[in-house]
Amino acid sequence: MRRILLLTLLVAGYAQPSFGAEAIQAVPGRAVIYVVRTPLDSRELSGLVLGDAGQVGMQPGTYYRWEAAPGTHRVFGMAPGVESLTLTAAAGGVYFLEHTVVGDPSDGGIQSTSLRQINEQAGRSLVMRSQMLR
């Protein structure tokens, strides 16, 4: 009987949504922009400037949830090369940006970065596999 109870608790624990899955929701009158760092890329820290919201340092497998006023917002990187994206966000909209970094600390650090808007399904999947930055 204990084995069945233990197995049931383990299965129930795996069926629970991750914190990221619960946090994905629109906000009335605001745009919600998720910036997600690809989980399996370089270990290097990479910085982004999120319009007027300021800077955020991202590590692999992390995401940042940004509530912004409706309108046009520019996101750009602070790594070698020029990486930027302009997003026009509507009130009540949810948007996903994927940030990828290629580099190796033993080989000179960051070689390149990219930033692109991805669809909702891919974005939700990345967020669910990532940890929220606070």
Question: For the whole model, what pTM was predicted?
Answer: 0.77
134: pLDDT confidence band, cut at 50, 70 and 90? confident
Q: Please answer whether residues 68 and 33 qualify as being in contact, where contact means their C-beta atoms are separated by less than 8 angstroms.
A: yes
For position 22, what pLDDT does the model report?
56
Provide the mean pLDDT of the chain. 79
CATH class of 2-132: mainly beta
Determine the average pLDDT of the residues in 97-109: 76
107 vs 32, more confident? 32
Q: Where are the domains of the chain?
A: 2-132
For position 72, what pLDDT does the model report?
96
Determine the average pLDDT of the residues in 64-81: 87
Q: How many CA atoms lie within 13 A of 38 on its CB side?
A: 16
Question: Is 68 in a helix, a strand, or coil?
Answer: strand
39: pLDDT confidence band, cut at 50, 70 and 90? confident
